[in-house]
Structure formats: structure tokens, C-alpha cells
């Protein structure tokens, strides 16, 4: 399978991954190779813990001009208990001074809500945080919810029984938009709304600033394949609100990471019907989505839509070039 490890040939001149990670599990050199194999012009590395902030900053220093970085807040348990989030504002300012391009927020993930973050995003604790980001036009990617089937899959249902229902996470997403309509916010993983496409459409209509990214949670690949004509019309209509993203990380073997990019190339650029190559790259049988579908139908998007989704939307949202590391 040596031929599988050639760099991906994309249709767009620039490929900018809005949603990638360097976790620090593998050497930096492995990660840079992975990015080269996926053939990304640029990538946005998002820290999901405060400890990872230094790691993504180091990657940015190693390859100037290549990596945008989004930093993570260092939440304090005592301040959380008091519901006072003012201290987060200087943290944002410090990150911006150090060369961060935006903020990443993972604590809308159900497991983290249960483990250490009792507050919903519309709690007063978050108000100074979102107000600072809005005022300074700082972009943020938020993870809220998880895939629908995590609440029903027998292997995970025991844990998810103790979490809020999925609907609560959608309520919070809309509450953020309602309170901060000008916040430059991206919801990761298609906001897990592919099973409710009409609902995402209503949010796009009502709140004109936010976007969603395509980092799998691959459920959207299967749900959107149920009605490819409708999915294609959705992507054409909302082509300025969708960001290319892979969730590629240093933890991925080269073959696996390449497949995480390739599945989105097949989905966006081609009209092919295919199985998710990520499963094959890990030596597994074809993955089956929670709607029971294993075949994915490519959208065959026109070049203008590809250009927006693959890089121009991110450039308009964040910047054409990453900030220099301080
Ligand atoms: Zn991610």
C-alpha cells in the first residue's frame, strides 16, 4: 500500500484545516509529516487543555506561517464554584499577546460537564469570557454535545444516561448565539445537527455570523448521504458557513491521518459512492453510521463552493495568515 502514502491531490489551490490538534502524544516531526501527507497548506491547531497551549505554540514556531493556533482556558475550580468568570479575560489577553489566533473550548462535551464544569454556556460564569471575545472580535471554536448515537449505543449508554440529554447542548448553542449574535463562533463537528438539517438551516437563517466545521464525528457523512440532493443543496446554499476540518492529530498513524483527510476530499470533491477509508486504514470493516448506512455519497461541489469551504471561509473568519508567535 505504498501508493496510499502519497500526498493527497486536492482540487483547491489552498487547503486549510480549521480543526486539527497537536496533543503531545507523538514527536513533532511525526505531526509535520502527517500534515505534509494530507497536503494541507495551513492548519489550525487547537489546544484542548491549558497544558497544550505551549505545545501548539511550539509547533507554530517550528513552521512559521503554517499553523494557526487556538488556545484553551485554564479554569479554576474555586472560581467555577463562585460562578465568577472575570479571571478568564486576562487569560484571553495573554494568549493573544503570545501569538494565539483564537480560542478553543471543549467543555461543552458531556463528559467534561459531568467531571468538572457544572455551568452551562449561558451561565453568568461565561459572560465576561464571551463578552471579551465578542468585543475584541476573537474567533472561538466550541465543542458542544456529542453524536446522537452516543446516548443510545449500548456500549456508551451507561455513561450517557448520567449526562444531560443531547437537546440541552443544542439549547446552549442557541443561547450563546442569542446573547452574543456578533460572536465569531464556530461549532465543531457540524454541531451534531446532521440528523436535524432543517434545524441547522433555521439557525443559519436566524444567526448570520456563526459557522460549523466538518471535523468528524462522522455521523454527518452518513446522514447527509440519506438524501444527497438535499445535502448538496444545503452545502451550496450555506457554503459560506461551513469550514473544512479533519480532527487530524499527532496521535494518528500516517495512514490513518491521511484517510481522515481523504474521506472529506471524496465527500466534497467527488460524486462517488464510497466507504469511509478511515476504517480501512485502521484495518477495520466499513464503518456503519447511526442511521444504518455504510455507503457515503459524495457531493461533487463546484469549485467556487470548494474554495470557500476549504480555505476562504476560515481566512475571512480568522485571518489569511497566522499571527507570528511571540
Ligand atoms: Zn477536535
CA-CA distance, 90 to 93, in Å (whole number)? Answer: 5
Q: In angstroms, what is the span from residue 142 Cα to ligand 1's centroid?
A: 10
- Asked if residue 323 is part of any domain, the answer here is no
Longest dimension (CA), the chain: 57
- 68: CA distance to ligand 1 center in Å? 14
Residue 194 lies in a domain: yes
Q: What is the distance between the terminal CA atoms of the chain, rounded to a whole angstrom?
A: 42
- CA 45–ligand 1 middle distance (angstroms): 9
- Whether the CB-CB separation of 38 and 17 falls below 8 Å is answered with yes
CA of 54 to the centre of ligand 1 (A): 17
- CA of 299 from ligand 1 middle (Å) equals 23
d(CA 1, CA 3): 5
Residue 313: predicted pLDDT? 98
On the CB side of 152, CA atoms within 13 Å amount to 7
CA of 40 to the centre of ligand 1 (A): 17
**Rounded to the nearest whole angstrom, what is the distance from the C-alpha of residue 17 to the centroid of ligand 1?**
11
pLDDT recorded at residue 156: 87
Q: Is residue 207 part of a domain?
A: yes
Domain annotation covers residue 117: yes
Q: What cell was used for 275?
A: 466507504
Instruction: Please give the chain's pLDDT, 326 residues, in tens.
Output: 445 589 999 999 999 999 999 999 999 999 999 999 999 999 999 999 999 999 999 999 999 999 999 999 999 999 999 999 999 999 999 999 999 999 999 999 999 998 999 999 999 999 999 999 999 999 999 999 999 889 988 888 888 988 999 999 999 999 999 999 999 999 999 999 999 999 999 999 999 999 999 999 889 999 999 999 999 999 999 999 999 999 999 999 999 999 999 999 999 999 999 999 999 999 999 999 989 999 999 999 999 999 999 999 999 999 999 999 98
* Closest to 140 in 3D by CA, of 180, 84, 86: 180
With respect to residue 325, please indicate whether it lies within any of the assigned structural domains.
no
Question: How confident is the model at residue 1, as a pLDDT?
Answer: 46
Question: Is the residue at 206 inside a domain?
Answer: yes
pLDDT, position 4 = 55
In a domain, 324, yes or no: no
How many whole angstroms separate alpha carbon 297 and alpha carbon 66? 32
> Residue 220 belongs to what domain range?
2-317
* CATH assignment of the domain containing 26: 3.20.20.140
CA of 166 to the centre of ligand 1 (A): 18
Q: Is residue 158 part of a domain?
A: yes
- pTM, two decimals, is 0.96
Query: How confident is the model at residue 2, as a pLDDT?
Result: 46
How buried is residue 224: exposed, middle or buried, by Cβ count under 10 Å (0-12/13-18/19+)? buried
Return the pLDDT at 154: 86
Taking the CA atoms of the chain, what radius of gyration do you get in angstroms? 19
d(CA 54, CA 97) in angstroms, rounded, equals 13
Number of domains in the chain: 1
Amino acid at each position: 500500500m505504498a501508493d496510499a502514502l502519497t500526498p493527497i491531490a486536492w482540487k483547491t489551490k489552498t487547503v486549510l484545516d480549521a480543526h486539527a490538534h497537536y496533543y503531545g502524544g507523538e514527536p513533532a516531526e511525526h505531526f509535520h509529516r502527517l500534515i505534509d501527507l494530507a497536503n494541507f497548506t495551513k492548519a489550525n491547531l487547537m489546544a484542548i487543555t491549558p497544558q497544550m497551549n505551549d505545545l501548539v505554540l511550539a509547533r507554530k514556531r517550528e513552521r512559521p506561517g503554517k499553523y494557526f493556533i487556538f488556545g484553551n482556558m485554564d479554569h479554576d475550580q474555586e472560581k467555577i464554584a463562585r460562578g465568577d468568570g472575570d479571571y478568564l479575560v486576562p487569560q484571553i489577553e495573554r494568549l493573544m499577546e503570545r501569538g494565539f489566533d483564537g480560542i478553543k473550548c471543549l467543555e461543552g462535551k458531556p463528559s467534561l460537564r459531568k467531571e468538572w464544569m457544572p455551568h452551562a454556556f449561558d451561565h453568568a460564569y461565561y459572560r465576561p469570557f464571551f463578552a471579551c471575545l465578542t468585543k475584541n472580535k476573537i474567533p472561538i471554536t466550541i465543542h458542544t454535545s456529542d453524536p446522537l448515537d452516543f446516548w443510545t449505543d449500548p456500549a456508551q449508554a451507561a455513561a450517557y444516561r448520567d449526562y444531560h440529554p443531547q437537546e440541552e447542548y443544542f439549547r446552549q448553542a442557541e443561547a450563546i448565539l442569542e446573547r452574543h449574535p456578533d460572536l465569531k463562533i464556530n461549532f465543531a463537528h457540524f454541531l451534531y445537527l446532521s440528523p436535524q438539517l432543517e434545524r441547522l438551516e433555521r439557525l443559519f437563517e436566524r444567526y448570520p455570523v456563526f459557522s460549523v466545521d466538518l471535523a468528524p464525528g462522522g455521523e454527518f457523512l452518513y446522514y447527509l448521504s440519506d438524501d444527497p440532493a438535499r445535502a448538496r443543496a444545503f452545502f451550496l446554499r450555506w457554503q459560506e458557513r461551513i469550514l473544512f476540518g479533519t480532527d487530524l492529530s499527532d496521535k494518528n498513524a500516517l495512514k490513518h491521518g491521511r484517510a481522515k483527510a481523504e474521506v472529506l476530499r471524496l465527500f466534497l470533491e467527488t460524486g462517488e459512492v464510497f466507504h469511509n477509508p478511515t476504517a480501512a486504514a485502521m484495518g477495520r470493516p466499513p464503518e456503519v453510521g447511526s442511521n444504518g448506512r455504510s455507503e457515503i455519497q459524495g457531493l461533487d461541489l463546484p469549485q467556487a463552493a470548494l474554495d470557500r469551504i476549504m480555505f476562504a471561509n476560515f481566512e475571512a473568519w480568522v485571518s489569511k495568515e497566522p499571527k507570528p508567535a511571540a
